[in-house]
A and B are shown apart, each in its own frame.
Chain A
Amino acid sequence: MTDHAHHHGPAAQTASGMEQAAAIEPASGLEPAAVPGPALAEAAAPEPAPASAARPKLAVWKFASCDGCQLSLLNCEDELLSIAGAVHIAYFPEATRAVVEGPYDLSLVEGSITTPEDMRRIHEIRAQSGTLVTIGACATAGGIQALRNWADVDEFRSIVYAHPEYLSTLDTSTPIASHVDVDYELRGCPVDKRQLIEVLAAYLNGRKPRIPSYSVCVECKRKGNICVPIANGTPCLGPVTQAGCGALCPTYGRGCYGCFGPQDTTNTASLTTQLVELGMADADIVRVYRTFNAGAPEFEAAGNAVEAGGAR
């Protein structure tokens, strides 16, 4: 059992709160206004890629993760050519084996830190990155693999692997911001491709990204969704979860699973009371707080509180 809250530097949370208030500045020496390229709306007929010197160099890095967030970038089908026109994709093994040496103007980092080697590697990446943006719940909160923070890693390593002595792994899964300075954290499991494009557009234009930190409820109400816990008793984490997915699950009549982590003002104690009233057992309540953002401090504390008998 590891109290992994100590592994979270304050940066892990200030990155989501304070950093979002600031514009993402392109690396020095770049003139965003001079970056040519087609408009998103004209993505069907992109301009030929301009000279690479004029485009910021983009690198996409993977740590402990499922690759889903990187795939969100590749899933930007209609916009992908525009992205390739606006940035020079210099390092992106998920997409291409071609590698351009660093340094890089913008690094997108997927995944959490779970091995000693990754603890070292993230510092190297930070050193050769102008702007570093983490993408997804793993990189921002430790991901589903942060469940190891409540478990005995040696024990399950010995059960799962024939030769556990070959493994070098940490007892915890921690977010990138626990190890290096992060310029911006993009939430989600996986990230939302519209938000990813928005972060790229904000970076290229030297402005603040339009990424809200309010609850999923705002997205539901703006869409005209019917509130699932109120209208049919389905438990929902929406009131404590940050918007960004477009209220995907409630739109299809399901409760929110908290993929985007805690919203800026999180009253999990009050939500726990409601989950109890909707008939959830304590063990199930612990489980819903401990999913993709189990390591986010607010969800971690909420799950621990219920586990300690604080739900009723």
Chain B
Amino acid sequence: MDDIRLLPATGLEGLIAQLRSRGYRVMGPTLRDDAIVTGEIRSASDLPQGVGDEQDPARYRLRKRDDGAYFGFAAPAQSSKPVFFPAEEVIWRGRRDTAVTPDSAASASTPDNAGNPTTAPASSPHDPGFTVERDQLDAPPIALLGVRSCDLRAVQIHDKVLAGRTYIDAHYVTRREATFVVAVACSDPAATCFCASMGTGPRPAATDPATGEPSYDLLLTEIAPSDPDRHHFVLEIGTEAGRDVAHAIDTAPAEFDDQHEALAVTAHAASQQTRRITAATVRDDLRASAESSRWEDVASRCLSCTNCTLVCPTCFCTTVEDVSDLTGATAERHRVWDSCFSEDFTYIHGGPTRESVKARYRQWITHKLSSWEDQFGMLGCVGCGRCIAWCPAGIDITEEAAALGRMRAGGVLPTGDHVPTGDHVTVTS
């Protein structure tokens, strides 16, 4: 069984060092303030060993575990989304040219696709034109350490959305290039988790269902954290790069029982999950619910604060903001995270197209659990439960989906395939 090996708990240090020595910037779970977040991991001491969490609607608390588990918690406060898709980045900088020469004023060059500084054509002999500099990324490749199945699936969804269509996000592609993934099989789901019902966890699929590419280079399952003598990881190898790393560190061959023990960890984790979404019917439930009275109900609770979208590992909406200095001599275009819950998100001439909160919530949940499939061929929810835990009003996507399903089944709404028109549900691209 060459694809499965054993890594002693003390061997994490060697794994991290090995990845760093290969030039990776290792990003994984670490403690900051009152939560576990994704941050840079320089040594095993950066990992939240012995720390667990409790997550409920509108509530997140760290707790001290009575064992030495390195990964004994559920979804961190933020996924790895910002690693590849930062909250704010500069797209380009522009500088008004100061010197006016007959040559420069008359020249008409086009922007350089390679991103080199170029002089834009001047509109008149009196206008000196301007120079555009695209932001150049110069960052080491990323190794994700301890990424959970839900968040790994979310990265695959982003690969499709941001890098798998006609127009690609160049910065995302650059950041994703040569990513090394050390996934972790989830052992301790929170009350907010529902990945098992979405088919996105707690054990990551070996391959990306959309592309067939391996999901991870290495997969860790943490075994016996309460027994210092036995505490170790079952290490499953997903790629040749993963095998190379596994054989370069302190690992030993595994037995059949070891794999069985690893599978038992995630089977138990799945059995612990209390929330669920009926993935088989939710798409149609949402399509049939465009005029549901439920939207008024949820809008009375929704704060339009945007937290659900900003903690969601698959939400990808952005806006661009242009800034200039006092004189207009320099300008920058920033791309920033945006949210369908903000009024300005749908602002066009005359006002927002989704002025009411119920229209915004309906758009968000319908996109996530229904029209995402029409658009991208999969649902946009991975069951991480962050939108439940980090909603200050404790709005529960599983309960909202279930209520809509119940109301549809109970005939509160016109049944059948009422397909909402563009007036009701707008697909975000």
Contact = CB atoms under 8 A, between A and B. Distances in A.
Contact of A230 (B336, B342, B357, B389): B389
Nearest to B56: A230
Interface size class of A (residues with CB under 8 A): 35 or more
A226 B32 contact: yes
B330 A217 contact: no
B327 A214 contact: no
Contacts of A204: 326-328
Contact of B306 (A38, A85, A218, A232): A218
Interface string A189-204: 0000000011011001
B389 to A, nearest CB: 7
Contacts of B87: 221-224
A115 interface: no
B326 A201 contact: yes
Interface in B57-87: 58-61, 77-78, 82, 87
A221 B310 contact: yes
Contacts of A205: 324, 327-328
A37 interface: yes
Nearest to B328: A205
Contacts of A271: 303, 392-393
Contacts of A103: none
A215 interface: yes
A33 B336 contact: no
Given A213-B344, A214-B344, A230-B392, A200 B303 contact: no
B358 to A, nearest CB: 11
Interface string B369-397: 00000000000000000000110111000
A240 interface: yes
A199 B347 CA distance: 20
B390 A270 contact: no
A75 interface: no
User: What is the interface of chain A mostly: helix, strand, loop, or mixed?
Assistant: helix
B310 A267 contact: no
Nearest to A251: B33
Contacts of A198: 323
Nearest to A205: B328
Contact of B326 (A86, A207, A223): A86
User: Which of A85, A264, A265 has the most CB atoms of chain B within a 10 A radius of its CB?
Assistant: A265
Given A221-B306, A271-B303, A39 B325 contact: yes
A222 B326 contact: no
Contacts of B327: 35-39, 82, 86, 204-205
Contact of A231 (B60, B88, B325, B339): B60
Interface in B74-112: 77-78, 82, 87-88
User: Which of A200, A221, A232, A269 has the most CB atoms of chain B within a 10 A radius of its CB?
Assistant: A221
Contact of B301 (A35, A224, A264, A270): A270
A4 to B, nearest CB: 26
A79 interface: yes
A226 B34 contact: yes
Interface of A: 21, 32-33, 35-41, 79, 82-83, 85-86, 197-198, 200-201, 204-205, 207, 210, 212-215, 217-218, 221-227, 229-232, 236, 238-240, 253, 263-265, 267, 269-271, 273-274, 277
18 contacts: A36-B327, A39-B326, A82-B325, A82-B327, A210-B321, A210-B322, A214-B342, A214-B343, A217-B310, A223-B87, A227-B60, A227-B77, A230-B60, A236-B392, A263-B304, A265-B342, A267-B303, A274-B393
